[in-house]
Amino acid sequence: MPTEIERKFLVKNDGWQASANAGTPIKQGYLSTSKERNVRVRQKGEKALLNVKGNTEGISRLEFEYEIALDDALEMLALCEKPLIEKTRFLVAGPDGNTWELDVFEGDNQGLIVAEIELENEEAAFALPDWAGEEVSHDSRYFNANLNTAPYKTW
């Protein structure tokens, strides 16, 4: 069963930029959001993905993701709840060699930068980079589906 296990942290400084890749623009929208599931369409550069996530339990949840035709994704994004989530995702090597994903949000969520690390299990050890700040894994305000309905600029 495909399971996503991730921890999220706010970013407290720009020290991550020295080891980041060039970044990939992402536009995503939600066709369905509920406590039990989210159905998301994402344009990630020139690729497109359809994603279904189950209810979060701790820091884990079921996740199914499928590549779809870019033209289909663009049509589906027009059907999504507004506003769409817009961000640039950077891949950054952590101090122990783990890869972190840093999302620099735009639009209604401008000013928010969140770092995520995906883990093999909930107890997996990892080194926290010095640019990582407060952990927000259990704060649902930082779930992308919630940033859609309650953008960062409204907090």
31-82 pLDDT tens trace: 999 888 999 999 999 999 999 999 888 888 999 999 999 999 999 999 999 9
Q: Look up 142 and say whether it is catalytic.
A: no
Q: Is the pLDDT at 1 greater than 70, yes or no? A: no
Cα dihedral: 139, 144, 148, 150 (round 10)? 10
Helix (H, G, I), strand (E, B) or coil at 116: strand
Would you state the structure tokens that stand for residue 72, as one six-digit string?
Answer: 């289909």
Span 15-20, mean pLDDT?
96
- Residue 85: count other Cβ atoms within 10 Å of its Cβ: 23
Count of structural domains, the chain: 1
Active-site position among 30, 66, 142, 152: 30
Q: In which domain, by residue range, is 134 found?
A: 3-154
- CATH number of the domain at 107, please: 2.40.320.10
